[in-house]
Structure 1
Amino acid sequence: MSHVHTFLFGIYPYIALAVFLFGSLVRFEREQYTWKSDSLQVLHRGNLRLGNILFHIGVLGLFFGHLVGLLTPVALWDALGISHSFKQAFAMTAGGIMGAIALVGLLILLARRGSSDRLAFVKKPGDRLLMPWILITLLLGLATIFESAGHMDGHMMVQLMTWAQSVFTLRGLSGAEAIIHAPLLFKAHLLMGMTLFLIFPFTRLVHVWSGFASVAYLGRAWQLVRPR
């Protein structure tokens, strides 16, 4: 196992998670009035509603699908009598549907932003990085479906589950070894996904936390949408 592979899949996940957690905490503590989705609907409506709904439905479906699919112990699936091949087929189908919905929504949002000079003028550096990054991550994820179609025995999925569960049980080095022979496409998707957690605290994505703490969020002070 090369040192680069060990770093990227055994050590880098912890760097990304540390920045994700502590960076979000610092952002909330020091810059609460930047803790928002930065909606620019007041400047240009376009197809914001349609794109926004589709994107969020798809992304939430992908997030919870990955969460359950990767972190549920293999022994539990076996105990329930769910074969690895069936789980893979289900994951490919559900992931493909949710990924396609998210992709359509994201393309609508990107087209909206590209069609307005006003939106392009106020676009922040974080947005210039974030949306293309999400787009590439989505495309790589959808591409893995076609890669997976060539081996429906579920073996690759078990390897990915072993890696993810090893990371969350602080056994990242052994997890890196589990996916050493994974196709490059899967590794690229994993790296892009992990890096999303790394850049999370520095972008508008921080508003996602508010969805998990909406009750406390209601008590915060008002925000100015536009300066006077």
Structure 2
Amino acid sequence: MNWLDHFVWVIFPYLCVAVFVVGHIFRFRYDQFHWTAKSSEFIEKKQLMVGSLLFHIGILPVIMGHIAGLGIPKEWMESMGVNEHVYHIGAVYIGGLFGVITLAGMLLLTTRRLTKRTIRQLSTTSDLIVNVMLLFIVFMGVFSTLVTTNVQPEFDYRETISVWFRNLFLFQPDASLMSEVPLSFKMHVVAGFLIFAFWPFSRLVHVWSVPLNYVRRSYILYRKHRQQSVRR
């Protein structure tokens, strides 16, 4: 294991998590005014609606799949009756389907932001970077799932990436587990940690702004004003 592997698979993940936490604290304390997604719906609505719908439909199952694949050991899955064949079907076909849906939505949203002149002028540099990074991450995830796993069927990320990932939380990361991981998976993992580091300084912070106060907020009543005619 060389110094680069040690940095990428041991030091870099912790740096990204540290920036993620400290950056959010700093942003919340000193820059709440810009804690917003700055909607561009008033400029173009149709492509935004379709792209956003596809992205959000796909990303939730994808996140759940990552939690299951990375967080639950392979042995636990098998003890619950989920053997290798069943897991492969769920990860590749079901996960791949939602990954493609997420990719389609992200492609629409990124194309919209880059090609619509008024939207591009409204966007900040961080907005453009976030869109491109998310598109790249989703693309590499779909490519790894649908292409790499078929080209290299002997590779099992649950015995390498998943073990390495869980060991990060135990503060016992083993960089050697990532040595034989295909390049596409490595790029997906590195880009994923990188966007976590970039998260606090971008529009992604709006994810945490859940409007829970609307649940107990009173309804706003609108009444039509009728102008009374004046008799002469």
TM-score normalized with structure 1 length: 0.86
Deviation of 1:217 after TM superposition, in Å, equals 8.7
Deviation of 1:153 after TM superposition, in Å, equals 5.3
Deviation of 1:88 after TM superposition, in Å, equals 3.1
For the pair 1:80 / 2:80, whether they are aligned, the reply is yes
Task: Give the whole-Å Cα distance in 1 for the aligned partners of 2:198 and 2:42.
Answer: 26
For the pair 1:129 / 2:129, whether they are aligned, the reply is yes
Q: Match for 1:198: what amino acid?
A: A
Deviation of 1:111 after TM superposition, in Å, equals 2.9
Q: Residue by residue, what CA displacement relative to the aligned partner does 1:8-61 show, whole Å, maximum 9, x if unpaired?
A: 011111111111122112111211121122211123324211111111222222
Task: Give the whole-Å Cα distance in 2 for the aligned partners of 1:111 and 1:184.
Answer: 26
Sequence identity (%): 29
What residue number does 2:171 align with? 170
Q: Residue by residue, what CA displacement relative to the aligned partner does 1:124-164 show, whole Å, maximum 9, x if unpaired?
A: 01012111111111111111121111344563332111011
The answer to whether the Cα contact below 8 Å between 1:84 and 1:153 also exists between their aligned partners in 2 is: no
Aligned residues: 215
Q: Residue by residue, what CA displacement relative to the aligned partner does 1:85-117 show, whole Å, maximum 9, x if unpaired?
A: 432332122221111111111122223224432
Task: Give the whole-Å Cα distance in 1 for the aligned partners of 2:115 and 2:149.
Answer: 36
The answer to whether the Cα contact below 8 Å between 1:89 and 1:152 also exists between their aligned partners in 2 is: no
Deviation of 1:177 after TM superposition, in Å, equals 1.7
User: Cα 1:50–1:122, aligned 2, differ >3 Å: closer, same or farther?
Assistant: same
More deviation, 30-39/194-203: 30-39
Structure 1: gaps of 5 or more residues = 220-228
What residue number does 2:112 align with? 112
User: Cα 1:180–1:216, aligned 2, differ >3 Å: closer, same or farther?
Assistant: farther
Backbone CA RMSD of aligned residues: 2.1
Q: Match for 2:200: what amino acid?
A: P
What residue number does 2:180 align with? 181
User: Cα 1:79–1:160, aligned 2, differ >3 Å: closer, same or farther?
Assistant: same
Task: Give the whole-Å Cα distance in 1 for the aligned partners of 2:149 and 2:126.
Answer: 33
Task: Give the whole-Å Cα distance in 2 for the aligned partners of 1:107 and 1:94.
Answer: 20
What residue number does 1:202 align with? 201
User: Cα 1:111–1:156, aligned 2, differ >3 Å: closer, same or farther?
Assistant: closer
Q: Match for 2:177: what amino acid?
A: A
The answer to whether the Cα contact below 8 Å between 1:85 and 1:154 also exists between their aligned partners in 2 is: no
